[in-house]
Structure 1
Amino acid sequence: MRVGVPIFLFLAAAGFHTALTASLESAEKEDTFGEEVGLEQLSDLQKRDQEEFEAAQMSEAVQDENTEEENDTQEEDMNRDGNVEADQHESESDEDVDGMRQKREHLEANVEEADETTNLAEVE
């Protein structure tokens, strides 16, 4: 039995060593595999992120174009409205001028009549 104990310990140590070595090799393979898969996944993620970024830029560009078109349309509308208002103001001004002209002519006619009446009164 004394000879069996050292042989048993030797076999146990050898088995432990083999199990430990296999475990470490397995862990290294998993790490390597994990890194390869991680790089592939990272690459896929980067591709997706790049695609999403490009899509967002395209969307922003389209929105900017739409905004510019809306601003241009609003400016044209404002200019058109401003021109209409200016035309209305000019029409009102023309009407005011015509009305004032008529009043002046009417007053001048009244003044002439008054002068004529005064001249006739002086002559009599």
Structure 2
Amino acid sequence: MRVGVPIFLFLAAAGFHTALTASLESAEKEDTFGDEVGLEQLSDLQKRDQEEFEAAQMSEAVQDENTEEENDTQEEDMNRDGNVEADQHESESDEDVDGMRQKREHLEANVEEADETTNLAEVE
């Protein structure tokens, strides 16, 4: 029995050492595999984020262009409306000038008639 106990202890220690070594190697493999998978997943996430970022920039650029085109269209409409108003104002001004011209001609005619009447009255 005395010989059996040391052999048993030796075999137990060797088994424990083998089990511990296998466990550590397994853990290292899992960590390495986890890091590799993590890096792949991380790079996939980075790629997706980059694609989403680029897509967002493109959509913002398109929106900016659309907004700019709308502003240009609105400015053109405002200019066109302003030109129409200016034309209407000019027409009104022309009408006012024509009206004033007619009044002046009418007054001149009245003055001439008054002068003729005065001249006739002086002649008589």
Normalised-by-shorter TM-score class = 0.7 to 0.9
With 50-59 and 75-84 compared, the bigger mean Cα shift is at 50-59
1:88 shift after superposition: 0.3
Deviation string, structure 1 residues 32-74 (Cα, Å, up to 9, x no partner):
0011111111111121112112211221221122112111211
With 38-47 and 4-13 compared, the bigger mean Cα shift is at 4-13
1:11 shift after superposition: 3.4
TM-score (norm 1): 0.88
The CA distance in 1 between the partners of 2:40 and 2:67, in whole Å, is 40
Deviation string, structure 1 residues 81-124 (Cα, Å, up to 9, x no partner):
01100110000000011011111111111111111112222222
The CA distance in 2 between the partners of 1:111 and 1:15, in whole Å, is 139
* Superposition CA RMSD, Å: 1.7
TM-score (norm 2): 0.88
With 52-61 and 89-98 compared, the bigger mean Cα shift is at 52-61
The CA distance in 2 between the partners of 1:25 and 1:71, in whole Å, is 67
1:3 shift after superposition: 4.7
Question: What SS does structure 2 have at the residue aligned with 1:2?
Answer: coil
Question: How many residue pairs are counted as aligned between the two chains?
Answer: 124
Query: Could you tell me which residue of structure 2 aligns to residue 84 of structure 1?
Result: 84
The CA distance in 2 between the partners of 1:80 and 1:48, in whole Å, is 47
Query: Any stretches of 5+ residues in structure 2 without a counterpart?
Result: none
The CA distance in 2 between the partners of 1:87 and 1:66, in whole Å, is 31
